[in-house]
Amino acid sequence: MRIDIITVLPELLEGPFAHSILKRAKDKGLAEVHVHQLRDFGAGKHQQVDDYQYGGGAGMVMQCEPLVDCIEALQKQRTYDAVLYMTPDGKRFNQQDANALSLLGDMIIICGHYKGIDQRIRDHWITHEYSIGDYVLSGGELAAAVISDAVIRLLPGVLNDETSALTDSFQDNLLAPPVYTRPEDFRGHKVPEVLLSGNTKAIDLWREEQAYDRTKTRRPDLLED
């Protein structure tokens, strides 16, 4: 999978893709992330990419031309299955969305800034609009990194058995159960007996119950789905 991210702040995206699982995915040739500076497509000496909004009001709007020029330059080179726009008024991104995107081929992600992008781009070029939560970030870059991470780690071969995505929270609409490691007794706080029993059936059952109880108290909305 190849992900092309369009942004006015490429520096913000240098860190997330340089380490850990995302780096491993890149090193194994399973995923590539390319970051593009939108200003390279901006007009004039100042490489302008935004302008005042029609109708008046505070805040600038990202213009059609630089964005569409950048999208189309990429689309000339290969076919993209999706053009994503990160925006607080998009669909709230969840694990099912990550699963679905992980089955697609290449995608473009557009990071908004200021008041957002001209509606005509949303109407005619964007295929998916996502929010990563009900709060406003100063731009879409961190959201793009979050979504790329959630998708890339699902690609076959990226995770090993130890980190398998199948046991993640949300994969079956349940939160994950609690986990423990050595020592057995830490300052008088003991590991639940069942986990030391070696009885795999009892352990599986305990984990299922814990996952259910945790979901019921913390995220009852997941059980309604």
CB atoms within 10 A of CB 37: 16
- In whole angstroms, how close is the CB of 145 to ligand ADE at the nearest point? 11
Q: Are 173 and 45 in contact (CB under 8 A)?
A: no
Is 86 near ligand ADE (CB under 6 A)?
Answer: yes
Comparing CB distances to ligand ADE, the nearer of 17 and 206 is 17
Give the one residue of 4, 31, 49, 87 binding ligand ADE; rule: CB under 6 A. Answer: 87
Helix H, strand E, coil C: the string for 48-102 is ECEEECCCCCCCEEECHHHHHHHHHHHHHHCCCCEEEEEEEEEEECCHHHHHHHH
Give the end-to-end CA distance of the chain in Å, rounded to a whole number: 30
- In whole angstroms, how close is the CB of 117 to ligand ADE at the nearest point? 11
Comparing CB distances to ligand ADE, the nearer of 67 and 174 is 67
What kind and span of H or E run contains 201? helix 200-218
CB atoms within 10 A of CB 16: 18
Q: Which of residues 126-155 bind ligand ADE (CB under 6 A)?
A: 131-133, 135-137, 140, 143
Is 54 near ligand ADE (CB under 6 A)?
Answer: no
What track of x and - describes contact with ligand ADE for positions 148 through 187 (by CB under 6 A)?
A: ----------------------------------------
- Look at the block and give the residue holding tokens 């008024």: 89
Comparing CB distances to ligand ADE, the nearer of 16 and 140 is 140
Number of residues this chain uses to bind ligand ADE (CB under 6 A):
12
Q: Which residues here bind ligand ADE, judged by CB under 6 A?
A: 86-88, 112, 131-133, 135-137, 140, 143
